[in-house]
Structure 1
Amino acid sequence: MKVSERIRLAVEEDIRAGVLKPGDAIDEQELAARFGVSRTPVREALIQLKVQGMLESQPRNGMEVARMDVQELLAIWELMAEMEGVCTRMACQRMSDEERQELARIHREAAALVEADDAEGWREANHAFHEVLYHGCRNPYLRQELLSLRARTGAYLRHAFSAVGRVRASYEQHGELLEAILAHDPERAHQMMMRHISLAQGAKGLADFLINLPRSMVKN
């Protein structure tokens, strides 16, 4: 793997994990030191991320993590719900029994995180749950597109969990998804996933989420 690709993946993961948030500046010098390279592969990686829409240029200030306005955010979430639904239907049809049991294990162990109201632990468990489905769909291109969309919306999704209090509801929806997958019911699994990814969960949920979005995360 080229070093520029390793840098790109590392920055993308930092965005997904919330180490880098919308509006944060990208420090080229720090990245070059971190990977022990010149700035050339760093800039190659940043240009790739800009093309993906994850970074944006700032006049005389290098690049920063891209911010979205509300319309862009809702459009991406709408697309992500459709893609996650397709992924889940395919995974339900194609997953091995071992993968289904791995999904069940992740869900079972996440119960303690929900009871402890451990938002950070839940986010990791949620990522692991979805990652099993991404591999289970047996379509690496769909997986890569979903990971990219999740990276772009990661900060907003974390805010949704913490500000609107969706951890327990999300866990319960995972349970419904798991039941459909263990029952080998791809159409029900598809519907459950689209409901799960839907941001709104009713107009009040959507309003609460939008009202509580930090101004620094939203593009003017």
Structure 2
Amino acid sequence: MDKSLSLADRLRESIEEDIATGELPPGAPLDEAELTQRFGVSRTPVREALMQLASAGMVDIRHRRGAAVAQLGPQRLIEMFEVMAELEAMCGRHAARRMPAEALAALEAAHLACEAARNAGDADAYYHLNETFHHQIYAGSHSGFLCEQATTLHRRLRPYRRLQLRVKGRLQASYSEHQAVVDAIQAGDGERAAQALRRHVMVQGERFADLMAALAQLQTTTAEA
């Protein structure tokens, strides 16, 4: 955490990271007393942090029932993935034209790291390496504003993107889709890179049904804990 931030801001960052990584899954309760004990602080900065997260749409504050990690409805989730797909397509289109040789080498290295995690069947390791892969493309767009927007929405969708990787066969499919992206960017083909990333990010049909099933299973496990 950045020590230059206020205590409430630092708490917000810690809780946000737990939400983004799935440590606090959608629907998980956020008990003020437990948070004050965990962080060794008073309730005031905890409440401020929760209010900040509620403003960002990551936490729901329910009257008389306390706070909980926000759960996105199916339609909202589809809409967010649709926008994410277009942002990534734009990043890929620009990256294919603008990535210098050293950035291409870093993208290829990230892709090879994903391959090792795929071969090991390690979904959690792949998830973290997958983030590096995508962020290489965002940076490779050489558009600061586009990179910021893609990064922000990517972070908001992190719990759901992580869940997808636990669906049977998704690691192999994701890696194959990455290969198509890398090939297009290496070839300098912006349109092909855009199409490959759009297909990679979009969740439709069976992929969306699988995501909803994984989310329902996770929420059931959380409720039973």
* Structure 1 residues 86-101: aligned runs within 5 Å: 86-101=90-105
Question: Which residue of 50, 55, 59 corresponds with 1:46?
Answer: 50
> Which residue of structure 2 aligns with residue 206 of structure 1?
208
How far is the alpha carbon of 1:51 from its aligned partner?
1.4
* In 2, Cα distance between equivalents of 1:17 and 1:64: 16
> Which residue of structure 1 aligns with residue 5 of structure 2?
2
CA-to-partner distance for each residue in 1:34-70, whole Å, 9 max, x for gaps?
5554433333332222111111112223321100121
* In 2, Cα distance between equivalents of 1:13 and 1:91: 28
**RMSD of aligned Cα (Å):** 2.4
Which runs of no fewer than 5 residues in structure 1 stay unpaired? none
1:121 aligns with 2:125: yes
Mapped contact 1:164–1:205 kept (Cα < 8 A):
no
> Which residue of structure 1 aligns with residue 172 of structure 2?
168
Matched AA of 1:210: M
Relative distance call for 1:78 and 1:38 in structure 2 (3 A) is: same
How far is the alpha carbon of 1:168 from its aligned partner?
0.5
1:177 aligns with 2:171: no
* Structure 1 residues 1-220: aligned runs within 5 Å: 1-3=4-6, 4-32=8-36, 37-200=41-204, 203-214=205-216, 217=219
* In 2, Cα distance between equivalents of 1:109 and 1:216: 28
CA-to-partner distance for each residue in 1:60-85, whole Å, 9 max, x for gaps?
23321100121111111111111111
Which runs of no fewer than 5 residues in structure 2 stay unpaired? 221-225
* In 1, Cα distance between equivalents of 2:135 and 2:122: 20
Q: Aligned to 2:60, what secondary structure does the other structure show? A: strand
Relative distance call for 1:64 and 1:148 in structure 2 (3 A) is: farther
* In 2, Cα distance between equivalents of 1:140 and 1:161: 28
The number of equivalent residue pairs is: 216
How far is the alpha carbon of 1:170 from its aligned partner?
0.5
Matched AA of 1:104: E
* In 2, Cα distance between equivalents of 1:187 and 1:131: 19
Instruction: Give the TM-score of the pair, scaled to structure 2.
Output: 0.83
Provide runs of 4+ in structure 1 moved above 4 Å. 29-37, 215-218
Relative distance call for 1:140 and 1:14 in structure 2 (3 A) is: farther
Which has the higher mean CA deviation after the structures are superposed, 136-145 or 42-51?
136-145
CA-to-partner distance for each residue in 1:147-184, whole Å, 9 max, x for gaps?
33333332322222212431101001111111111222
CA-to-partner distance for each residue in 1:16-44, whole Å, 9 max, x for gaps?
21111001122444545555544333333
* In 2, Cα distance between equivalents of 1:40 and 1:168: 46
Which has the higher mean CA deviation after the structures are superposed, 147-156 or 93-102?
147-156
Instruction: Give the TM-score of the pair, scaled to structure 1.
Output: 0.85
